[in-house]
Amino acid sequence: MTITPVRHSCTRGPLIAIEGITGVGKTYLTHRALEALDVLDGQALDETVPGARPLLLDGFSQRADGRPGFGEALLGALREASAGDPFLRGGTPLAETWLLLAIKRYDLDTVVAELARGRAVVEGRSVDTTAVCQALLLHPDTPGSALETARALLDFASAYRPLPDLTILITDDAHAAIARTQQRDQRVLTSEQARLMEEACALYERLATTDPARYRVVDRRTVDERQAAELVRAWIHNARTGLDCVREPWQGPEARCMCCGRRADLAPA
């Protein structure tokens, strides 16, 4: 006989990740979607009301209050070790993976209180970014192995940090994203950097197909900007209901919910 937790919905807010390679328009579409949420939900900017405007973490280790924190210090160490490489490659991909996952744990720690009071949190880049980028560095020329490793890294990450409830992948033709990146950053990517972006683009898409319950995909090759923002808005809106309790994975199924404090009701399966 096995014992499984009984499902019940939690009062917490959802944790939503926005993923995709640089230059696909993640930040732009997320801001447009959040503005549309304000208008359609009539919630304006009252952040004291539970369920009000989602809290946005714009990027890796960027705290909502804008103050530098531990995550930024860790990211600074990676930047320093990679001597200006835009993909933070310092030559020790596994050690860098653990550090990147530590940053993502830190990012979660900074928002648990907001989730607990029912507020949605939108995280620009989550553990999927780390899984995709580091898997490519570990298997530069073998896409099959990179996908397998990306899945394994996600499993590893989920052992000490709950995965997002919903992951929105924004994708596009890689060349279009590369062109936007070059235009925005006023620099030309090397052919090696452009190839890495193409491989990352393909790997994000393949990884998304392995977990259709968690992923929603916006493909900018098939929807225009307005439709893309509307999809993101609707998914964020819909993610607010029917959430299960969330527990520290390392504490096991009997632990209290990180947000509402409730213990799982264990019942025979």
- Chain residues that interact with Zn ion, rule: CB under 5 A: 10, 245, 257, 259-260, 262
* Cα 198 from chain centroid (whole Å): 19
CB of 244 to Zn ion, least distance (A): 8
Specify burial of residue 28 (Cβ count, 10 A radius: 0-12, 13-18, 19+). middle
Of the pair 150, 264, the CB lying nearest Zn ion is at: 264
CB of 150 to Zn ion, least distance (A): 29
Q: Is the dihedral of CA 154, 158, 161, 167 positive or negative?
A: positive
Helix axes 70-81, 93-109, angle to 10 degrees: 160
What secondary structure letter does DSSP report for 15? Answer: E
Residue 166: count of CB within 10 angstroms of its CB: 21
CB of 239 to Zn ion, least distance (A): 15
Of the pair 184, 262, the CB lying nearest Zn ion is at: 262
Collapsing DSSP to helix, strand or coil, 56 comes out as: strand
CB of 61 to Zn ion, least distance (A): 26
Of the pair 105, 117, the CB lying nearest Zn ion is at: 117
Residue 165: partners with Cβ closer than 8 Å, 6 or more residues away:
14, 15, 16, 214, 239, 243
Of the pair 176, 260, the CB lying nearest Zn ion is at: 260
CB of 208 to Zn ion, least distance (A): 27
Residue 243: count of CB within 10 angstroms of its CB: 20
CB of 18 to Zn ion, least distance (A): 24
Of the pair 63, 117, the CB lying nearest Zn ion is at: 117
Compute the distance between CA of residue 182 and CA of residue 161 in angstroms, rounded to an integer. 34
Of the pair 103, 257, the CB lying nearest Zn ion is at: 257
